[in-house]
A and B are shown apart, each in its own frame.
Chain A
Amino acid sequence: METETIHPHSEIQPSTKMSGPADDELVRLDRVERIYKMGDNVVRALDGVDISIHKGQYWSIIGRSGSGKSTLLNVLGCLDRPTGGTYFLGGTNVNQLDDDALSEIRGQRIGFIFQSFNLIPQLTVLENLEVPLFYQESEPGVAKERAERFADRVGLKDRLHHRPNELSGGQQQRVAIARALMNEPLILLADEATGNLDSKTEKEILTLLDELHQEGMTIIMVTHSDKVADRAGHKLELRDGKVLKITHLDRSPL
């Protein structure tokens, strides 16, 4: 695999690197808080969350709606900034970064998979796949070559010139997974990735994620389904913004 885009760019300061953690620790959350203030109401969506995720692990985050799992995923995905605590991603302290730097981190280190696929409707499959690299200002040739490779990987090589609305839900989610892989990210974040799919398609997508995990990809998946959550090696249960329980299943080493 190519690795050139994985390394942090100059805008992300290596000086914020933590001294302590092991080399393969990708994600480290220390007492992370995310507090929303709405008038006099204070909502503690995340209330002191500690997590440590290592390279190559497959995590699921489970909890009822309102438990804070989506907020956690947004923080992990650098879409949202914690209001307290620290978040290290690949050795970078994310808290201190400005909007541009966060965008750069998202563009270079994170792959998103959403419940509603979130493909851009007016673009073809190929163009959708090229979007992440467009913002990395890579050469168009590189993007096209990679798009073809990943489309092939998810089994949609013959659909490159179709538009999202010409594809089934499962196919759209495959495109979305291929798109998440385009920047060769450090972690793959899946938000209810199978929530909109029937059980047969769900199985296909979960199998695809399993395969990616076996190929060495670090995956964090948010779900409300225990059945889905149990496929991951590590299961984190959230309740009211707090970590309720972390289960390490024997399938993968801590």
Chain B
Amino acid sequence: MHRGSMIRTIRLGFKSLMLHKLRSALTMLGILFGVSSVIAMLSIGEGASYEAQERIKALGSNNIILESRKPPDQNTQQEQSAWTAQEYGLTYQDAELIADTLPAVKVVIPIREIPKRVRYSETIVPTIVLGTVPGYSEVTGVQLKEGRFLTRIDLQRKRNVAVIGSEIARKLFRLTNPIDKNIRIGKEIFRVIGQLAEPERGNTGKSADRMRQGIFVPLTAAISFFGELIVKTSAGSREMERVQLHRIKVQVLGNEEVLGTGAAIRKIMADQHKKKDFAVIVPLELLRQAEDTKRIFNIVLGSIAGISLLVGGIGIMNVMLATVTERTREIGIRRALGAKQRHIIAQFLVETVVLSCMGGILGILLGITIPAVVEWYSNITTIVSPTFPILAFGISAGVGILFGLYPAWRAAQMDPVEALRHE
């Protein structure tokens, strides 16, 4: 069939579909919803996995994070001796051991977290004091808005200097420049030397949270000013615990060393700690897991969307079979006037494909709208990759051909004499 007659066949298909507008529209709905759900699901899934991956990447794919965990079996003991501080978690020794024994380790950042109230002039704000070392800024990638971060000398001299989080700065110093102002953390006076920049809006990770709410001081200063004992007061009860380090961030030299180093750290820690009072988090592992999860997610979503397209396709086939029966006489006329079987097949196949492609196009429009609406109302990130509409359109055309073939074949197989006699 040459191009001119193909175009005329397509026009004819449109014309026949327009004769039964409601029927065509209802048939299209099946494909429309199928295609739009494919796009909507893919883009919401893509957005979710992107967000998860970004969060993991924010931890640093070259990093390994160790965290102190309160061992679960300690709770009952603690109630018996309310005045004894519970002792657990990562130690200074752990940090040194990791730094000294593992060759692939580039930097080890110990972090000690102490909940305190901070006061400037009349304003008092709850905060978390982070005792750490200068390397923290490079490993976690903190950005300064003003001033400087902690230095080696601050650490050596146990200076009472502080770098304040963006939100703390906003609450304490509305209009004043915080640099060189003295603030009172607990009972101690610290001088503000830097203010951190606001992290990206979407970044809800722990380190981003610290960059807003935390106050960074030299680890040595934190120990000497606030001591080893941490007292947490909460609604009527006070809890005391002795934790040396809350977190240790380990930066590894190269990406390929991460998994091996992670395993080695787990081994060292298991040897050092009889109680399971720590956790080792390897973001790269999480990233791999997130990718696996995404793959499963895609398969599940793909199957759901596939089923809805299948249902839509069956709907189309059903309607086309009815159409073929209804237009038996037209088929007979066309056959009498010289139409070959392939002409009849082309006519009905084109009609089905036109129907499903129109459904596909409308489905793409709806499918692009849904993620936008979802993003508007809830804060979920969605990503419409340009491949989705192309994929969806291809699928809908494919469904049209697949489910149009049988009705078209039936039409072509009709005996012209019988077809002409059909009332």
What residues of chain A have their CB less than 8 Å away from a CB belonging to chain B?
Answer: 74, 77, 79-80, 99-100, 103-104, 106-108, 112, 114, 118-120, 122-123, 131-132, 134-137, 139-140, 179, 183
Give Cα A253–Cα B340 distance, bound, in whole angstroms: 37
Q: Which residues of A contact B330 (CB under 8 A)?
A: 120
CB distance from A178 to the nearest CB of B (A): 13
**Pick from B2, B15, B335, B416: contact of A122, CB under 8 Å:** B15
Q: Which residues of B contact A131 (CB under 8 A)?
A: 333-334, 337
Q: Closest residue of chain A to B338, judged by CB?
A: A107
Would you call B416 and A79 a contact (CB within 8 A)?
yes
Would you call B420 and A114 a contact (CB within 8 A)?
yes
Q: Closest residue of chain B to A112, judged by CB?
A: B336
Interface assignment of B343: CB less than 8 Å from any CB of chain A: yes
CB distance from B357 to the nearest CB of A (A): 21
B interface, size bucket:
20 to 34
Give Cα A80–Cα B332 distance, bound, in whole angstroms: 12
Q: Which residues of B contact A118 (CB under 8 A)?
A: 329, 332-333, 336, 420
- The contact sample of 6 A-B pairs, CB cut-off 8 A, is A106-B335, A118-B333, A120-B333, A122-B15, A131-B337, A140-B4
CB distance from A251 to the nearest CB of B (A): 30
A-B CB proximity, top 10 nearest = A107-B338, A135-B338, A103-B340, A132-B337, A79-B416, A118-B333, A135-B339, A106-B338, A112-B336, A79-B417
Q: Which residues of B contact A79 (CB under 8 A)?
A: 335-336, 416-417, 420
Q: Which residues of A contact B8 (CB under 8 A)?
A: 134, 140
Interface assignment of B5: CB less than 8 Å from any CB of chain A: yes
Interface assignment of B235: CB less than 8 Å from any CB of chain A: no
Would you call A135 and B333 a contact (CB within 8 A)?
no
Would you call B16 and A106 a contact (CB within 8 A)?
no
Give Cα A107–Cα B341 distance, bound, in whole angstroms: 13
Q: Closest residue of chain B to A105, judged by CB?
A: B338
CB distance from A174 to the nearest CB of B (A): 17
Contacts A104-B338, A107-B339, A118-B333 known; 15 new A-B pairs at CB < 8 A: A74-B417, A79-B416, A79-B420, A103-B335, A103-B338, A103-B341, A104-B340, A118-B420, A120-B333, A122-B19, A132-B338, A135-B338, A135-B339, A137-B2, A139-B4
Q: Closest residue of chain A to B19, judged by CB?
A: A122
Would you call A100 and B341 a contact (CB within 8 A)?
yes
Would you call B337 and A135 a contact (CB within 8 A)?
yes
Give 1 or 0 for each of B49-81: 1 = CB within 8 Å of chain A CB: 000000000000000000000000000000000
Q: Which residues of B contact A107 (CB under 8 A)?
A: 337-339
Interface assignment of B1: CB less than 8 Å from any CB of chain A: yes
Q: Which of A74, A103, A104, A106 has the most CB of B within 10 A?
A: A103
Q: Which residues of B contact A119 (CB under 8 A)?
A: 333
Give Cα A10–Cα B248 distance, bound, in whole angstroms: 86
Would you call B16 and A122 a contact (CB within 8 A)?
yes
Q: Given A79-B336, A79-B416, are A99 and B16 neighbors across the interface (CB < 8 Å)?
A: no
Would you call B340 and A80 a contact (CB within 8 A)?
no
Would you call B338 and A136 a contact (CB within 8 A)?
yes
Would you call A99 and B340 a contact (CB within 8 A)?
yes
Q: Which residues of B contact A134 (CB under 8 A)?
A: 5, 8
Q: Which residues of A contact B5 (CB under 8 A)?
A: 134, 137
Q: Which residues of A contact B16 (CB under 8 A)?
A: 122
Q: Closest residue of chain B to A99, judged by CB?
A: B341
Give 1 or 0 for each of B1-31: 1 = CB within 8 Å of chain A CB: 1101100100000011001000000000000
Q: Which residues of A contact B335 (CB under 8 A)?
A: 79, 103, 106
Q: Given A120-B330, A137-B1, A139-B4, are A106 and B420 neighbors across the interface (CB < 8 Å)?
A: no
Would you call A112 and B340 a contact (CB within 8 A)?
no
CB distance from B341 to the nearest CB of A (A): 6
Q: Closest residue of chain A to B421, judged by CB?
A: A70
Give Cα A108–Cα B340 distance, bound, in whole angstroms: 12
Q: Closest residue of chain A to B332, judged by CB?
A: A118
Q: Closest residue of chain B to A191, judged by CB?
A: B420
Give Cα A104–Cα B339 distance, bound, in whole angstroms: 8
